[in-house]
Amino acid sequence: MADIQTADAASSPSPKIRNIDPDQPWSWLSAGWNDLRRAPVPSLAFGITYSVAGMILTALVVIYDVFYLTAPLLAGFMLLGPILAVGLYQISRRLEQGQQVGLGDVLTAWRDNPAQIAYMGLTLMLFLLAWMRIAQLIFALFNSYAPPPVEPIDFINFLLSTERIPFLLTGSVIGGVLAVIVFAISAISIPLLLDRKEMHVIHAMVISVKAVRANLWPMLLWAWLVAMFIGVGLATAYVGLIVTLPLIGHATWHAYKDIVDWDGAD
């Protein structure tokens, strides 16, 4: 099976990677906003769905008094963002082709390349599970002698104490490394899988990494913008995600179209 998958990846077409201007990510946001305005119902429906999901997740954290999982769960939300937005990529794709956009078409976007999109989703899920396990181990390593308080205010004070600085720094560094890896392999890979049925998930991730390396500074700006907009959505008790998540999802499609040149494919 592994040999078959490797052969499939090797036979996938290789597009040319364009070099883009450093400020190009701003135009992706503009194009994403335009898509959001042209298809507000399905776009905002996605935003509302994930906003409500975040609220439910937070409610469960409060109910079960596991506040120490809040930061890992929020980080995990961002790790899974690229695969959650596959329907938003479909909206932008259909708008680009001059087609009507219906909620049913968007919900079934994964059908255009089901196996490879599922593999990509599994990959991101494994990263999330790894991060959750690592976060728990880090917490246990640095705080085994001091169980976390149950009350939210006490837990915040617990985290902000000077004794927690090594714990916070270690978690931030390791989480940052995982985030960089996930961003590199998923920056354009899922729109790529949606757009090209013949594309293999391994090859799509390789192309995504090449795209990030070839356009390091604009992609760093893009990563910062993504983190900022998603962060604003989370900081507003998930309400802001109703708009920021669709905006980033649509903009990601335009990032893919700007960076990948199929006319120069091998």
Q: Is 2 part of a structural domain of the chain?
A: no
Instruction: Indicate whether 4 belongs to any domain.
Output: no
Domain-located, residue 159:
yes
Each residue's pLDDT, cut to its tens digit, for the chain (266 residues) gives 444 344 455 556 689 999 999 999 999 999 999 999 999 999 999 899 888 988 888 888 778 776 666 666 666 666 677 777 888 999 999 999 998 887 777 777 878 888 999 899 889 888 888 887 888 788 788 776 666 665 666 666 766 777 778 878 888 898 889 889 999 999 999 999 999 988 999 999 999 999 999 999 999 999 999 989 988 988 898 899 999 999 999 999 999 999 999 876 66
Identity of the residue numbered 234: L
CA atoms in the 13 A half-sphere facing the CB of 238? 17
Judge whether 27 lies within some domain. yes
Question: Distances in Å between the alpha carbon of 208 and those of 92, 228, 256?
Answer: 19, 21, 9
Q: Name the H helices within the chain.
A: 2-11, 24-38, 40-63, 70-79, 81-84, 86-96, 103-107, 114-143, 152-160, 165-186, 189-195, 201-214, 216-235, 241-259
Q: What is the tally of structural domains in the chain?
A: 1
Q: Distances from the Cα of 166 to the Cαs of 22, 141, 155, 179, in angstroms?
A: 35, 11, 17, 20
Nearest to 116 by CA among 259, 12, 266, 248: 12
Supply the range of the domain harboring residue 260.
Answer: 22-264
